[in-house]
Structure 1
Amino acid sequence: MSFPNYITLSRIIAAPILWYLIYSGNKQAFAWLLTYAFFTDLIDGVIARKMRRVSALGSKLDSWGDSMTILSGLAGLLVFEWELLKQYGVIVSVVFALHLLQLLLSLWRYKKPSSFHTWTAKTAALGIGMFMLITLHFGFYEWLFYISIGLLIADALEETVLIFLLPKWQHDVKGIYWVLRSE
């Protein structure tokens, strides 16, 4: 296993620790470990490309790490910022439903979760990551919440369309534009 994969693996290992911190009510430690997890998400792919160690295993680990980090972050936000976020329950439920639909369609079509890593997904991950970290460290900003929600909706819709466009499972697809251009 390569060095970048170990970085990604550290993000996966952080997930159960994040859940423990949620359970124990340690918001500050949770916020800092989540910051570490998002930072490793930013650098693992860059390091893999620089070292020429990009692999299908790395892509799968990255997808698992992304999912675990996002789920842990969302769980932490819901627990630590519940009073603030409950007023946005309908919007959050719609975003969750769209991403769940995308996952179910991927499992139906490919028999496994998608691992597209589109530019939209990367932008959405950056947006939701910034929203989570800023909210946990500094407080809630509604405008950042809505930007993050918009990016997450765009990501779910693009990945759903890609499932119908791509007959076989593929990883690291830039987006719909590039798929249509290559046909």
Structure 2
Amino acid sequence: MSLAPVNIPNLLSAGRLLLAPVLLFMADQQRQDLFLSLLALSLCTDAFDGYLARKLNQTSALGARLDGWADYFTYGAMVIGLIWLWPEVFDEQIWFLYTGLICYLVPTITGLLKFRQLPSYHTWSAKLAAVLMAPAYFIMVLFDQALLFRVVVIFHIWVACEELIITMILSSNRTNVPSMFHAREMMRRQRLKIRARRDQLRRRISGQSNDKCPIE
């Protein structure tokens, strides 16, 4: 009896989920060094799990949703860590943090209301924002330089707008939608498939009707 192959990307996402409460514990204990070390580990695994999923042909809807949940909890731990470990930085950047929070909440709530599921689009723009957020956060807390962080937050406004557009375009929840243009193409193909099925059904009905007609 052969064992099922281990889904490494899903394990990495699960590991990030488990790291989130550990990050909160380290922040509560005022361990800045361990908090940043574990956060760096979490963000590094986030950078590799998508690549490994494609490389190992282990992409799945479950993996996309698991990765999305890990993102939510990790970013939540980053904000709480900022409040507990660097309160002065939090106070200085509070309006940008509120902006970032709105950029996460609005697309998420919109997707939940329409699809009854958390959206996990993983757009190219969201991936770029995530890659930039990691160094921006570390530079801000270690060197008190917040320019890159502010730029990334402003870019998140576009990320949120694109995710809202994708939600409006799609008729059902999809995972791994690279951009709003891909969403439009998905819907175009779906309409073509529906039209082809309707035409096939009409031909069948028409053929059955012709078979039933008496021959004079």
What is residue 144 of structure 1 aligned with on the other side? Answer: 148
RMSD of aligned alpha carbons: 1.6
Q: State whether structure 2 residue 176 is matched by structure 1 residue 172.
A: yes
Contact 1:4 1:48 in 2 (8 A): yes
- The code of the aligned residue for 1:31 comes to L
Q: State whether structure 2 residue 148 is matched by structure 1 residue 132.
A: no
Contact 1:77 1:132 in 2 (8 A): no
Picking from 26, 35, 39, the partner of 1:34 is 39
- Change beyond 3 A, Cα 1:127–1:78: farther
Q: Distance in 1 between matches of 2:166 and 2:17?
A: 26
Q: Distance in 2 between matches of 1:149 and 1:86?
A: 16
Query: Which deviates the most, 119-128 or 92-101?
Result: 92-101
- The code of the aligned residue for 2:43 comes to F
Q: State whether structure 2 residue 28 is matched by structure 1 residue 23.
A: yes
What is residue 80 of structure 1 aligned with on the other side? Answer: 85
* Post-superposition CA distance 1:104-130 (Å, at most 9, x none): 111100101100000011011112222
How far off its partner does 1:39 sit? 0.3
How far off its partner does 1:11 sit? 0.8
Picking from 144, 157, 167, the partner of 1:163 is 167
What is residue 56 of structure 2 aligned with on the other side? Answer: 51
Which runs of structure 1 show a deviation greater than 4 angstroms over 4 or more consecutive aligned residues?
A: none
What is residue 191 of structure 2 aligned with on the other side? Answer: none
Which 5+ residue runs of structure 2 have no aligned equivalent? 1-5, 189-216
Q: Distance in 1 between matches of 2:80 and 2:17?
A: 16
Q: Distance in 2 between matches of 1:47 and 1:91?
A: 33
How far off its partner does 1:58 sit? 1.1
Which 5+ residue runs of structure 1 have no aligned equivalent? none
Q: Distance in 2 between matches of 1:100 and 1:4?
A: 25
3-state DSSP of counterpart to 1:16: helix
Q: Distance in 1 between matches of 2:96 and 2:55?
A: 39
Larger Rg over CA atoms: 2
3-state DSSP of counterpart to 2:12: helix
Q: State whether structure 2 residue 139 is matched by structure 1 residue 100.
A: no
Q: How many residue pairs end up in the alignment?
A: 182
